[in-house]
Amino acid sequence: MKKTILLFCLWILSPGNTVVYSQGNIEVVKDPRINELIKKQGEVIPPATSVQINGYRLQLFFDSERSKVDQARMQFAKSFPKIETYVTYSAPNYFLRVGDFRTQLEADRLKAEVGTTYPTSFIVQEKVNLPRID
């Protein structure tokens, strides 16, 4: 048996013999949701529409429950309607940050003003939107 296989291999590899390849068809079977994912990944996401600069915000509150952060946000917005509020998520917590301050001194003024209501608030440096001009 081994001799037969060896002779067959030598016959195929001999210089006078040629190997013929035939064309075939390939059928791709896939979940139709894959096309939706490819389309979504290929979408162009426009850049942020507002100009951002290096600045400061005041972090007032954080919690793992979004409802508590939203409640603190509404409470702050009632007292300070002209100051922007931002809720961000970084696992496992939601963070309530307020203001778009160019300098740390501006953020310190607000911190002093809300210090009794939010005693654990602190200033964070991050990209902020251009402050509102009244």
Query: Quick one: pLDDT at residue 126?
Result: 92
Q: Which residues pair with 123 in a beta bridge?
A: 58
Range of the domain at 104: 52-129
pLDDT band of residue 96 (cuts 50, 70, 90) is very high
64 within some domain: yes
Chain centre distance of CA 31: 26
Contact 107, 59 (CB under 8 A): no
CATH number (domain holding residue 88)? 3.30.70.1070
Could you report the per-residue pLDDT of 63-88, keeping only the tens digit for each?
A: 999 999 999 999 999 999 999 999 99
Within 10 angstroms of residue 64's Cβ, the number of other Cβ atoms is 11
Query: 10 Å Cβ neighbour count for 104?
Result: 13
pTM > 0.85: yes or no: no
**Residue 20 placed within a domain:** no
pLDDT at position 110 over 90? yes
Does residue 9 lie within any of the structural domains? Answer: no
**Total tally of structural domains belonging to the chain:** 1
